[in-house]
Amino acid sequence: MRTVEWANGQVRMIDQKALPWELTQVDLPTYQAVAHAIQDMTVRGAPAIGAAAAFGMALAARQSRASSVADLIADLREAALFIKAARPTAVNLAWGVDRLMAMVSQGSYPSADALRDALLAEAQHVADEDVEINRRMGANGAALIKDGDTILHHCNTGALATVDYGTALGVVRAAFEQGKKIHVLLDETRPRLQGARLSAWELEQLGVSYDIIPDTASGYYMQKGEVKIVLVGADRVTANGDFANKIGTYQVAVLAKENSIPFYTVAPTSTVDLALASGAEIPIEERSKDEVLTPYGQALVPPHFHARNPAFDVTPNRYLSGIITENGIVRPPFVEGLKRTVAGEKV
């Protein structure tokens, strides 16, 4: 079962808000519904969002009643702006939209229906390519994992965060499939508990040994010497190797550095944004305070209490041991290596 796919003329995705209590899928008939699903985190994880955006554009083409190529392109431009506005931090969202819009601007199509077919075929290619890229990243990263290692992980980066297989948890999966005996400490990842809800559920399905820990306990286990390596994902990597990831990643990186523990982010080249010089330029999404005060409808404090809810933080490149991509592991200094890997070179 893929996280996001095309089915019966609609976009079908796993409802990640229902996990781990229920595994269910939702069918989305409009690109507006796809954008809303991205915004409310029915689907989340940078690669999964990119694929959802691509399918959303293919859906927009079919949703349009335009009979001419010119009119269809006008409708697609409107849909592109709407989908891109769903969430600001993960660069894969705009990447997925722009990849399909590049076909529109660069191609020549005899009819509106021909353009519709081409967009759907490209969206499907984006999804299939994601799975293959994830497997390559998993193999590259698994070389870093030793038999008997305990791995610390933040947020969720498994199959649910991608079309299938995973990024950082894809590395864990690849190491496990190689027969390595490993254990994973999962930060619960407040306030939406992606680690406790989603990562734990995925490792249960795979049979990988794990423990959920409070976000505040990661330093404790590092100090005790239990953690051998830290693996996290990324929602945007800038040209210098700074990266944005789920809130709490920065403090994990600082603790790993203090305790001399290797710290890696796992990200496909589609998550690398060479247009931004450093992490200071990454837009950080602020989500509703209700996610902090009343997570999943359960009130923790009186509703009038004040709260702030940044969804991401930025980890400076100096805390990184490397960036695991589908084209190899980029080591510091990152600028030239990232340019090469984005260009498709092996590193």
Catalytic residue numbers? 235
Burial class (CB within 10 angstroms; exposed 0-12, middle 13-18, buried 19+) of 284 = middle
Tokens in use for 32?
């507006």
d(CA 157, CA 87): 18
Strand positions, DSSP E, 254-343: 263-266, 272-273, 312-315, 322-325, 328-330
Please tell me the distance from the alpha carbon of residue 51 to that of residue 57, in angstroms, as a whole number: 10
Q: HSE (CB half, 13 Å, CA atoms) of 309?
A: 15
Residue 199: name the closest of 248, 162, 244 by CA.
Answer: 162
**CA atoms of 239 and 233, how far apart (whole Å):** 17
Q: Is 246 exposed, middle or buried (0-12, 13-18, 19+ CB in 10 A)?
A: buried
Report the DSSP pairing between strands 322-325 and 328-330: antiparallel
The secondary structure element, H or E, covering residue 334 is helix 334-342
Whole-angstrom distance, CA of residue 245 vs CA of residue 255: 16
Q: What is the CA radius of gyration of the chain?
A: 20
User: What φ, ψ does residue 91 adopt, rounded to 5°?
Assistant: -70, -20
- CA distances (Å), origin 30, targets 58, 102, 196, 236, 346: 10, 21, 31, 27, 39
**Cα–Cα nearest to 187, from 136, 255, 279:** 255
Q: Which of 234, 314, 240 is CA-nearest to residue 282?
A: 314
